[in-house]
Amino acid sequence: MVFNDYNNDSVKRLAQKFDVVVIGGGPAGSAAARTLASLGRSVCVIDKSKFPRQKLCGGLVTTRAKTNFETVFERDWRSDLFVSSDSVWFFQGEKKLHDKPTPDRGPPLFFTMRFDFDSYLLGLAKEAGAVVFENLTVKGIDTRSKKVVAHNGNEIGYDFLIGCDGVNSIVAKTLFGTSFDQKTIGFGLEVEVPRDHLPNHNDIPEVDFGSANWGYGWTFPKAKSFTLGVGGVHRLNPNLKQRLSEYLSLSRNELDIADYKVRGHFIPFGDYREKPGNECVLLCGDAAGYVDPITGEGIGHAILSGYCAARAIEEALDEKHFDALPRYLELVKPITKSLHQANLFRWMIFPKPIQAPFAWAFTDAGTLRSGYLEILAGHHEYDHLYGLFLVQVRKAVKKLGRKLIGR
Ligand SMILES: Cc1cc2nc3c(=O)[nH]c(=O)nc-3n(C[C@H](O)[C@H](O)[C@H](O)COP(=O)(O)OP(=O)(O)OC[C@H]3O[C@@H](n4cnc5c(N)ncnc54)[C@H](O)[C@@H]3O)c2cc1C
């Protein structure tokens, strides 16, 4: 059921109380709602937008996200929603870091328009029985009386609340006073470029390590367009619009920023919440800061965390108690472990003095490039890349040693 006419009395009556209220109908919210509805729980999703809705995003969907989607939504992959590629070009500004795309054949990367993908996921939640309120903005949450209050004054009660409301989460603000940490948060800027503006580009995506501080630039293929963007740690990129302009004007692009609509959004990486909620209120996806700080990937983690929150709540409801947080923390461990590793590993990639050796290692070692692609594709975790990186460092030290003793 979908509601977006709130003058209707039947909506007011229906909207009184649910086992679980989910705020936000993105990938995290749809995953949580579908899982709970499939288990027979009464669940509603409230979103301020009407779907399909725009969501600023590179639209890279990794193998990890695909696996999570298949597990949670129990559906085959709809390849009509994606452009795919099994290789990638790496750049540092104008410099291409290798002669052939990396690797010849690697794990696939998928690219989608969130406008279509998110609407599809929310449709699957509805199909399972979740009630969806679109065009309804949550303005307040009363955690004592367990009610959310919408912009039109409607109150909706809950036993459990799941905050899947993105980086500016009102749920996180209600619990912790702020939705994210200004010191660590990332920011991204993007433009959507029609395909015929880049006639020399094909479906191989591009990643440019020289285009932002503690971040990167990207050109990701879509069915009718390319998404070009730059993103990195917000406080280290005060001139991000200028960086985007430079990225667009690189000789391989030759685009003028003035010709496109530039859109920007925060990316919550680098400070995921150690305690993502309290007893009966859980945070998922961006609201919990579950975004990879190196690749910017958040869709796969959003789906998985939404599912984990639903499972933890289902167990609590079954056992007739109201503390789902400990179980949720256990279930999201694979996400937090991966984010923790990424937070450490970015110190091997992003600091200024490391960039030249990193670019050299990347140029020199096909295995390191493939390893990075496998991370980007969500095929491997960061501990795999540590090994490859250490091999390269050993090689560099040996090379230097030979140089010093003149052999
Ligand atoms: C520039 C940029 C590029 C990115 N590129 C990629 C990429 O290529 N691949 C990738 O995996 N990730 C990428 N990400 C990250 C990815 O977009 C997010 O991690 C992902 O969307 C998180 O999903 P979510 O369900 O947690 O939140 P969202 O998708 O943000 O959904 C939150 C929903 O909550 C609703 N909402 C918010 N507040 C309220 C309220 N008060 N009341 C009612 N509804 C509300 C919103 O309307 C929205 O629909 C990118 C992010 C940015 C900013």
Residue at token pair 């020289």: 210
Pocket perturbation via mutation, ligand 1, pick of 134, 267, 305, 335 by most ligand atoms within 8 A of CB: 267
The answer to whether residue 228 scores a pLDDT higher than 60 is yes
In this predicted model, what pLDDT tens digit does every residue of 336-350 receive, in sequence order?
A: 999 999 998 888 888
Q: Whose CA is nearest to atom 21 of ligand 1?
A: 299
Residue 265 pLDDT exceeds 80: yes
Residue located via tokens 């400070």: 271
The residue among 390 and 149 whose pLDDT is bigger is: 149
Token pair, residue 167, equals 């980086």
The predicted model gives 236-243 an average pLDDT of: 97
Q: Ligand 1: which residue has its CA nearest to atom 31?
A: 26
The predicted pLDDT at position 98 comes to 82
CB 342, CB 292: distance < 8 Å: yes
- The response to whether residue 83 sits with its C-beta less than 6 Å from ligand 1 reads no
Choose which residue among 155, 165, 244, 301 to substitute to test ligand 1 binding: the one with the highest number of ligand atoms within 8 A of its C-beta. 165
pTM over 0.85: yes
Of 284-298, 312-326, 360-374, which range is least confident? Answer: 360-374
Taking the CA of residue 46 as reference, the ligand 1 atom at the shortest distance is: 43
- Rounded to the nearest angstrom, the distance between the alpha carbon of 284 and the centre of ligand 1 is 11
Pocket test for ligand 1, best of 45, 46, 48, 230 (most atoms within 8 A of CB): 48
SS (H, E, C) the chain: CEECCCCCHHHHHHCCEEEEEEECCCHHHHHHHHHHHHCCCCEEEECCCCCCCCCCCCCEECHHHHHHHHHHHCCCCCHHHCEEECCEEEEECCEECCCCCECCCCCCEEECCHHHHHHHHHHHHHHHCCEEECCCCEEEEECCCCEEEECCCCEEEEEEEEECCCCCCHHHHHHHCCCCCCCCCEEEEEEEEEHHHCCCCCCCCEEECCCCCCEEEEEEECCCEEEEEEEEEHHHCCCHHHHHHHHHHCCCCCCCHHHCCCEEEEECECCCCCCCEECCEEECHHHHCCECCCCCCCHHHHHHHHHHHHHHHHHHHHCCCCCCHHHHHHHCHHHHHHHHHHHHHHHHCCCHHHHHHHHHHHHHCHHHHHHHHHHHCCCCCHHHHHHHHHHHHHHHHHHHHHHHCCC
Q: Are 188 and 180 in contact (CB under 8 A)?
A: no
Ligand 1 atom, smallest distance to 264 CA:
1
Which one is predicted more confidently, 55 or 379? 55
* Residue 13: predicted pLDDT: 46
Domain 2-73+114-182+270-342 class in CATH: alpha beta
Q: Is 289 in the pocket of ligand 1 (CB under 6 A)?
A: no
How many angstroms separate the CA atoms of 72 and 303, rounded? Answer: 8
Q: What is the dihedral of CA 342, 296, 221, 255, to 10 degrees?
A: -110
Atom 3 in ligand 1: which residue has the minimum CA distance?
57
Sequence-ordered list of residues with C-beta below 8 angstroms from that of 325, at least 6 positions apart, any chain: 275, 276, 277, 278, 279, 282, 312
Other Cβ atoms closer than 10 A to 148: 25
Dump pLDDT digits (tens) for 57-72: 999 999 889 999 999 9
Instruction: Determine if ligand 1 sits within 6 Å of the CB of residue 252.
Output: no
The pLDDT, as a whole number, for residue 164 is: 98
* Of 275, 279, 308, 307, nearest in space to 289 by CA: 275
Q: How far is the CA of 292 from the centre of ligand 1 (A)?
A: 13
Tell whether the torsion through CA atoms of 265, 64, 59 and 139 is positive or negative.
Answer: negative
CA nearest ligand 1 atom 41, residue: 138
- Average pLDDT value for the chain: 90
364 residue type, one letter: D
Amino acid at 346: R
Q: Is the CB of 302 under 6 A from ligand 1?
A: yes
- Provide the pLDDT confidence category of residue 407 given band limits of 50, 70 and 90: low
Above 60 in pLDDT, residue 73? yes
Phi, psi of 310 (to 5 degrees): -60, -45
Can you give the residue ranges of every domain in the chain? 2-73+114-182+270-342, 86-110+190-263, 349-404
Question: Does the C-beta of 25 come closer than 6 Å to ligand 1?
Answer: yes
- For residues 184 and 100, give the distance between their C-alpha atoms in angstroms, rounded to a whole number: 35
* pLDDT at residue 328 tops 60: yes
* Residue 11 predicted with pLDDT over 80: no
State the burial class of residue 405 (Cβ atoms within 10 Å of its Cβ: 0-12, 13-18, 19+). Answer: exposed
- Give 196 or 5, the one with higher predicted confidence: 196
Q: Atom of ligand 1 at shortest distance to CA of 187?
A: 53
CA 48 to ligand 1 centroid distance, Å: 13
186 Cβ below 6 A of ligand 1:
no
Query: Which pLDDT tens digit goes with each residue over 22-65?
Result: 999 999 999 999 999 999 999 999 999 999 999 999 999 998 89
Residues 131-141 pLDDT 10s: 999 999 999 99
CA 340 vs. chain centroid, Å, equals 16
